[in-house]
Amino acid sequence: MSCQFDPDLRPMSGGNPIVRPATATRHASRLAATLASAALIGLASLGTLPVAAAERALDKEVVVAATAEQVWASWTSRDGIRAFMAPDAEVDARVGGAFHIHFDPLAAPGSKGADDMRYMALQAPKMLSFDWNAPPHLAETRAQRTFVVLRFEPVDATHTRVRLHHTGWGDGGQWDQTYAYFDRAWGAVLGNLVKRYAEGPIDWTSWMDQLRKMHAQPPAAK
């Protein structure tokens, strides 16, 4: 037997009519639907909130005429680094191990380049990451650390795509100068990596001659 609302039945004190079970169920269903609609409207309105700007990063990509294992060795051994990136290096390819890249091996300790960098993660031969700093002439940001991730993806049996992602940037001051510097520098480094496998290891003789001449000059007067 169904229960219906009887308009003649009212509470003893007057006011709202008595609602029998079937009517109460319908009222509850309508209330639930109303609340659900309100919730959906609320969620939709969240989409209109301002979205934070994407994290600033440098992204570079090249295809190298080498296997992923060969490219991996280029980034994880002293001979590999010296063949394309810098005249000398101290490399210990393990988590927390040295990734010290000496662009100027003749400079004083702490000014050779990326003197105190470390490997942060390694997944041979697919991915590695390391912390990084600015060159000595950008002293403000040199005291800070950014973060570089490299990924190696085979294209075919003899070619590998190298993707570089450099993030962790601040804003203003020397941060903008440092970002612009590495936007150029990483392009040159990856270009040298391509050249290394197309033409052979980089010859640093001319570079070292320039460094010797520079260090032989008397210090500039202050």
Neighbours of 124 (CB within 10 A): 13
The rounded distance, in Å, linking the Cα atoms of 134 and 115 is: 10
pLDDT tens for 58-109 read: 999 999 999 999 999 999 999 999 999 999 999 999 999 999 999 999 999 9
SS3 per-residue string spanning the chain: CCCCCCCCCCCCCCCCCCCCHHHHHHHHHHHHHHHHHHHHHHHHHHCCCCCCCCCCEEEEEEEECCCHHHHHHHHHCHHHHHCCCCCEEEECCCCCCEEEEECCCCCCCCCCEECCCEEEEEECCCEEEEEECCCCCCHHHHCCCEEEEEEEEEEECCEEEEEEEEECCCCCCHHHHHHHHHHHHHHHHHHHHHHHHHHCCCCCHHHHHHHHHHHHCCCCCC
Of 192 and 221, more confident: 192
pLDDT (mean) for 22-30: 55
Q: How confident is the model at residue 54 (pLDDT cuts 50, 70, 90)?
A: confident
What's residue 79's pLDDT? Answer: 98
What's residue 161's pLDDT? Answer: 98
The rounded distance, in Å, linking the Cα atoms of 44 and 39 is: 9
What's residue 1's pLDDT? Answer: 46
Above 90 in pLDDT, residue 9?
no
Q: In the CATH scheme, what architecture does the domain 57-215 have?
A: 2-Layer Sandwich (3.30)
pLDDT (mean) for 40-68: 76
Rounded to the nearest angstrom, the gap between the alpha carbon of residue 48 and the centroid of all alpha carbons in its chain is: 27
Q: How confident is the model at residue 4 (pLDDT cuts 50, 70, 90)?
A: very low
What's residue 8's pLDDT? Answer: 43
pLDDT tens for 166-218 read: 999 999 999 999 999 999 999 999 999 999 999 999 999 999 999 999 999 98
Q: How confident is the model at residue 2 (pLDDT cuts 50, 70, 90)?
A: very low
Please report, rounded to a whole number, the percentage of residues in the chain having pLDDT higher than 70.
Answer: 75
Average predicted confidence (pLDDT) for the chain:
85
What's residue 219's pLDDT? Answer: 77
Tokens of 83: 């063949």
> Distances from the Cα of 42 to the Cαs of 34, 35, 50, in angstroms?
12, 10, 15
Above 60 in pLDDT, residue 135?
yes
Tokens of 81: 């680094």
Instruction: Write out the residue limits of the CATH 3.30.530.20 domain(s) in the chain.
Output: 57-215
Nearest CA-CA partner of 98 in 139, 113, 107, 108: 113
